[in-house]
Amino acid sequence: MLDDIELQEIRKGFEMQFRYKFYRDPKFPFLQSIGIKHIIQGFEHPHDEVGFLGMLHLWWVPDPTGTVLGIWESEWFDTPHEGVALAQTLDANRIYDVHKLEEVAHNHAQKMAEKEVMKQIQAKIRQEEEEESKTVLWN
């Protein structure tokens, strides 16, 4: 089992690696502008005897000094239950309905798929009509 100092050092290393990958992601600069201001990620140590290390919570806040647009603050949760509770609270406090957005996106994708199928059917019908007009003998 890890003592508190070892756990903090391991968490620090995992957070640094996570932030490095997070900041290099092409979508990173746009997250807060599309409303993503909280990231929650759980970590487990690769060795089974160590196990769960905690859940990292990053949240975006505007920079009070104005030198940069904002910064990503962080905190660690010791149990998965704390992280899940935070995620549920954040989900409940959204100013929009996630299920309605999913429904709208699904309906849009379905309409686009239907349009594509109709285009393919119409192209097939035109092709068949052209082939038929070539074989019909007009006297």
- Rounded CA separation 105/93 (Å): 21
The size of the chain, in residues, is 139
- Rounded CA separation 37/30 (Å): 10
Scan for tokens 């290393």, then name that residue: 13
Residue 49: CB atoms within 10 Å:
7
- Residues with Cβ within 8 Å of 41's Cβ and at least 6 positions away in sequence, in order, are 18, 55, 56, 58
pLDDT for 130 = 86
What are the extents of the domains in the chain?
1-94, 96-139
- Provide the whole-model pTM: 0.65
Residue 71's H or E segment, with its range, is strand 70-77
What tens-digit pLDDT sequence spans the chain (139 residues)? 678 898 899 999 999 999 999 999 999 988 888 888 999 999 987 776 778 899 999 999 988 787 777 889 999 999 999 999 999 999 888 877 878 889 999 999 999 999 999 999 999 999 988 888 777 666 5
Residue 18's H or E segment, with its range, is helix 4-24
